[in-house]
Amino acid sequence: MANRFLHLPSIPLSLSLSPSTFLYLLPPLLVLLRLPGSVRGDCWLIEGDKGYVWLAICSQNQPPYETIPQHINNTVHDLRLNENKLKAVLFHSMYRFTNLTDLNLTKNEISYIEDGAFTHQANLQVLQLGYNKLTNLTEGMMRGLGRLQCLFLQHNLIEVIDNKAFEESSSSLSSIDLSSNKLARIDPSTFTVLNRLMVCELAGNPFHCGCDLYSFLTWLEAFNNVTHTYDRLQCETPGELFLYPLLSPVAGHGRNARTMLSSICRDGMIIPGITSQPGTDWEGSGMGPEMDGRAGPYHQPTASSTADPNFNPSIKLQWVTLSAAKLLVQIPKPYSKMYVLVQYNQSFVSDIQNLKEKKEKVTLVDLKPHTNYTYCVVSISKNQRNNHTCIFFATRAAGPDDHHGNPSTMTHYIMTILGCLLGMVIVLGLVYYCLRKRRMQEEKEKVISVKKTILEMRYGPEAAAQAANDPAAMQHLQEQAQNQGHHGGHLHGGGGGGGGGNKLPPSASSSSGMLHGSANTTSSRLSTLPKWRRWPQRSVKPWRPVKGTIWT
């Protein structure tokens, strides 16, 4: 289909139409062109001099666009793609349009904007993204929009806004429309960086009026909104503040959520030990008037759901400690929808678990002390999430008694120490056993070496080697040595008896006495040694003179 061009310079002069009058007449003209039988075209372009395109109207195209068309001149300043079926905004489909100042993407099906998709739209001043399916807003989505002045995000499904989402547009952004989304809480730092902000539309959001919203309400009360739509800002949860205005139409007049929270909150936390006030239900806080900060059953407050719990899900807090809590969740019809228990934080939403039973007890662990927590029951239907009921509670601050630890922690600590000590004893026992065995082996080898040395000196190396290998042979040699010692003693006695018949010379007698004395000395020394160390005593034969010996 060929494009249809409307050139401003080519308007007949007889009509005497000014450009502003022509722009007012342009929408009815487009409606007439869309009637049956009229000429169909992709986009209507309004061109200026030198081929520049000032306006490209691609609205309500038939068939609807599902992606941003690429045949449009990249010099276009105002691009209107509203009322089509665009699914996503991607960088490769936007980088060509560097001259854009106005972009209208209203009433599409956009659920995803790529990070950095608008990095080449440095001149963009008006961005319209209303009536789409966006669920969050991050810093990456708004990257590159340093001159953005007006941002329209009404009627989306936004639940979370990154507190740094508008930092790049902080010096230019003056108007934001976030009405009719699903914002339960907002970090005040999200808007405090906007120096030129004059309009901030937030009506139609299901605000959870807990202590973590108090700082935002303080900022909102000080913010001078040009539209003054304070009466349209109301609490959705908890039940005791349902339909309460966030701020009264006149600040400081009447009863509103901020004045209620100012009496029970301090530094974004619930004041510990505060007593219940008239009209105040502690279901939203998770703290009872008798909570002393210790583990134990929680005194049940009234139901948090605003409707009959027999028809709507309900959630109650049973008990809360320093780092844990227990929730009781009731689902009337578990399988009619997909119910999920989710945790909401200022910058993220995380699913805890699916709910499949009519009544479930959910234990939450690893919580941080002195921290606000928000858990909600959410149903998922047709790719959309609906919050049914929420509960808000705060874990208590750590006290002096908490440093001692609970009994289970102490038991675990003691058992760990005992296990370590037992392991050390076993290791030391093994080391002692190995050293003891090695020492005994060394002593045994030393004894064998001494015995072998003695045998070598007495019987020679061969006999000693044989005796070392055969303990019986060693015993036999010891007995033989003892027998030889006794036999030598008898010989000495017989020699003495026959001395009267055979007289020896004095020198022979002295020599024989010396030998006998030497033998007796040796025997006495051997007798002092242990039996297995005794030297074998050789037999000493009596000395007899040799014939031919000349005595002098």
Q: Which residue has the higher pLDDT, 311 or 255?
A: 255
Answer whether residue 428 is part of any domain.
no
**453 plus 387 within the same structural domain:** no
User: In residues, how long is the chain?
Assistant: 552
Residue in 198, 161, 195 with CA at minimum distance from that of residue 178:
161
Mean pLDDT score, 454-468: 75
Tokens read off for 496: 């003495």
In tens, the pLDDT along 353-368 reads 888 888 889 999 888 8
Answer whether residue 36 is part of any domain.
yes
Q: Check residue 414 and give its pLDDT.
A: 92
Banded model confidence at residue 482, pLDDT cuts 50, 70, 90: low
Residue in 319, 315, 327 with CA at minimum distance from that of residue 292:
319
Q: Check residue 457 and give its pLDDT.
A: 83
Residue in 343, 348, 387 with CA at minimum distance from that of residue 207:
387
Residues 6+ apart with CB under 8 A from 310: 332
Tokens read off for 416: 């760990």
Instruction: Among 102, 133, 164, give the residue marking a domain's end.
Output: 133
C-alpha 97/C-alpha 150 separation (Å) is 19
Q: To the nearest 10°, the Cα dihedral for 57, 59, 63, 65?
A: 80
Answer whether residue 121 is part of any domain.
yes
Tokens read off for 527: 């007798």
Element containing residue 113 per DSSP (H, E): strand 112-113
Answer whether residue 249 is part of any domain.
no
Tokens read off for 234: 């109301």
**5 plus 95 within the same structural domain:** yes
**123 plus 4 within the same structural domain:** yes
Mean pLDDT score, 514-538: 45
Banded model confidence at residue 249, pLDDT cuts 50, 70, 90: low
**12 plus 125 within the same structural domain:** yes
C-alpha distance from residue 371 to each of 172, 297, 402, 421 (Å)? 35, 20, 16, 39
Instruction: Among 133, 153, 169, give the residue marking a domain's end.
Output: 133
**31 plus 108 within the same structural domain:** yes
**Cβ–Cβ under 8 Å, residues 212 and 235:** no
Answer whether residue 84 is part of any domain.
yes
Q: Check residue 369 and give its pLDDT.
A: 86
Q: How many domains does the chain have?
A: 3
Residue 383 sits in a domain of what CATH number?
Answer: 2.60.40.10
Answer whether residue 163 is part of any domain.
no
Residue 77 sits in a domain of what CATH number?
Answer: 3.80.10.10
Q: Check residue 223 and give its pLDDT.
A: 86
Banded model confidence at residue 132, pLDDT cuts 50, 70, 90: very high
Does the pLDDT at position 73 exceed 80?
Answer: yes
Answer whether residue 416 is part of any domain.
no
Residue in 314, 293, 526 with CA at minimum distance from that of residue 395:
293
**371 plus 463 within the same structural domain:** no
Does the pLDDT at position 503 exceed 80?
Answer: no
Which of 28-32, 74-78, 476-480, 493-497 comes out lowest in average pLDDT?
493-497
Mean pLDDT score, 48-55: 80
Residues 6+ apart with CB under 8 A from 93: 67, 68, 70
Q: Tell me what the pLDDT averaged over the chain comes to.
A: 74
Banded model confidence at residue 97, pLDDT cuts 50, 70, 90: very high
Mean pLDDT score, 179-190: 90
**7 plus 105 within the same structural domain:** yes
C-alpha 32/C-alpha 25 separation (Å) is 11
C-alpha 518/C-alpha 525 separation (Å) is 11
**467 plus 373 within the same structural domain:** no
Does the pLDDT at position 523 exceed 60?
Answer: no
Q: Check residue 85 and give its pLDDT.
A: 92
- For 14, the domain range is 1-133
Tokens read off for 137: 């807003």
In tens, the pLDDT along 445-460 reads 998 888 888 878 877 7
**357 plus 455 within the same structural domain:** no
Buried b (16+ CB within 10 A) or exposed e, 338-375: ebbbbebebeebeeeeebeeeebebebeebeeeebbbb
**Cβ–Cβ under 8 Å, residues 133 and 156:** yes
DSSP 177-217: E--SS--S---THHHHT-TT--EEE-TT--EE-SHHHHHHH
Residues 6+ apart with CB under 8 A from 60: 34, 82, 83, 84
Which of 101-105, 160-164, 265-269 comes out lowest in average pLDDT?
265-269
C-alpha 131/C-alpha 358 separation (Å) is 35
How many CB atoms are closer than 10 A to CB 71?
Answer: 7
Instruction: Among 133, 161, 176, give the residue marking a domain's end.
Output: 133
Banded model confidence at residue 6, pLDDT cuts 50, 70, 90: very low
Does the pLDDT at position 501 exceed 60?
Answer: no
In tens, the pLDDT along 287-334 reads 333 333 333 333 333 333 334 445 578 888 888 888 889 999 988 776
**344 plus 463 within the same structural domain:** no
Answer whether residue 496 is part of any domain.
no
Q: Check residue 90 and give its pLDDT.
A: 93
Banded model confidence at residue 406, pLDDT cuts 50, 70, 90: low
